[in-house]
Structure 1
Amino acid sequence: MINATKLTLLLAEDGEKPPNPLLPHTYDIVWSLVAFAVVFFVFWKFVLPAYQKVLDERRDAIEGGIERAEAAQAQANAELAAYREKLSGAREEANAIREEARAQGQQIVADATTAAQEESDRIVAAGNQQLEASRQQVVSELRGDVGKMSIDLAEKLVGESLGDPGKQSATVDRFLAELDAK
């Protein structure tokens, strides 16, 4: 093996400077620059626009999403206000219907009470008429019975026959007239 000092001496004899181990050869630098330029060109021409397009789409989606969310929020607030207004109207309508039903119920009760009172008055009047008719019939039957009993009693007291219908009738009428006078 050749050690480093011998290599330095050999190169010094040739008149050349030894290469710097930190610097690459010129052909390596040129080919690296060419490869970097090709990769940079492909990256600049194809990758970066696609990446920029994705970023723009993402930004538009985010901004559009925020705008759509704000629009949806505004629409939801408007619908909520409309719902509350309808609900308020429905409550007022329900109260009006309830009050109308209550008034109708009171009217029905009043009408039924009036009809029942009229029917009661009619039944009482019919009962009074029937009672009066029964009373008249009883009075008339009693007059006949009282007359017959009074004639029988008078025959027993007087001792003569009052069998003549004319006499009986006159006697009964006179007796009843005296009773009515008392």
Structure 2
Amino acid sequence: MGILIPRLLPTVVCVLTFAVVFVCLTKILLPRINGVLAERQDAIEGRKERAERTAIEAGEVLAKYRDELAEARHEAARLRQEAMEHGAQLIAEIRAEALREREAMIAESQARLATDRVIAEAELRGAVVSSATELAGRVVGEPIDSVVDESDVVDRFFSDLDARSAAGLK
């Protein structure tokens, strides 16, 4: 027989050894390997599913956070608007109060001026009467105080003066 044709005994031993190794691999080792691979596949898929769930939960939390942030911004804008309106209202109230006080002060000042004018006018009329009486007494050469006190001359003079000044103002 030639070199390329194997003998029967080594061939049978090789075939039997191959069969034993093949059976051991397929019956014992391959199921274990497949089990480990299946466990790893499950672990990978489980992690992937957990990662997806975590991503979904993170998205929900982010959306909730954004909603709360938008709501907080809206609330802040509303509070700012209320504060501005309240401030404007306070300013308007203060201005109205100031205008009322100003008008009261003006009215009080006008009343005081009117009373001061009346008092000054009365004092001035008295001074004018006494000065005119004294001057007339010097011109005539004797005192005329008694004539002025009993006479309506002074009253007519001042009423004529008041009528002229009223006619001149109109």
The corresponding residue for 1:180 is 158
The corresponding residue for 2:75 is 93
Q: Which has the higher contact order (CA 8 A, sep 6+)?
A: 1
Higher radius of gyration, 1 or 2: 1
> Does residue 135 of the first structure (1) align with residue 117 of the second (2)?
yes
Preserved CA contact (<8 Å) 1:151 1:168: no
For structure 1, the residue ranges without an aligned partner over 5 or more in a row are: 1-18
Q: How does 1:20-35 map to 2 (within 5 A)?
A: 20-35=2-17
> Does residue 170 of the first structure (1) align with residue 152 of the second (2)?
no
Question: TM-score by structure 1 length?
Answer: 0.68
The corresponding residue for 1:13 is none
> Does residue 157 of the first structure (1) align with residue 135 of the second (2)?
no
Q: String of CA shifts for 1:66-94, please: whole Å, max 9, x gaps.
A: 42243234324433443343344334433
Q: 1:125 aligns with which of 82, 88, 107?
A: 107
Q: String of CA shifts for 1:107-152, please: whole Å, max 9, x gaps.
A: 1122011111111112212221331232133223312321221111
CA–CA distance in structure 2, aligned partners of residues 54 and 68 of structure 1:
21
Q: How does 1:12-161 map to 2 (within 5 A)?
A: 19-37=1-19, 39-40=21-22, 43-44=25-26, 47-161=29-143
CA–CA distance in structure 2, aligned partners of residues 176 and 82 of structure 1:
97
Q: Give aligned-pair identity as a percent.
A: 35
CA–CA distance in structure 2, aligned partners of residues 54 and 92 of structure 1:
56
Distance 1:105 1:52, change over 3 A: same
CA–CA distance in structure 2, aligned partners of residues 169 and 29 of structure 1:
175
Shift of 1:56: 0.8
- When the two chains are superposed, the root-mean-square deviation of aligned CA atoms in Å is 3.0
CA–CA distance in structure 1, aligned partners of residues 158 and 78 of structure 2:
69
CA–CA distance in structure 2, aligned partners of residues 94 and 176 of structure 1:
79
> Aligned partner of 2:122: which letter?
S
Equivalent residues, number: 160
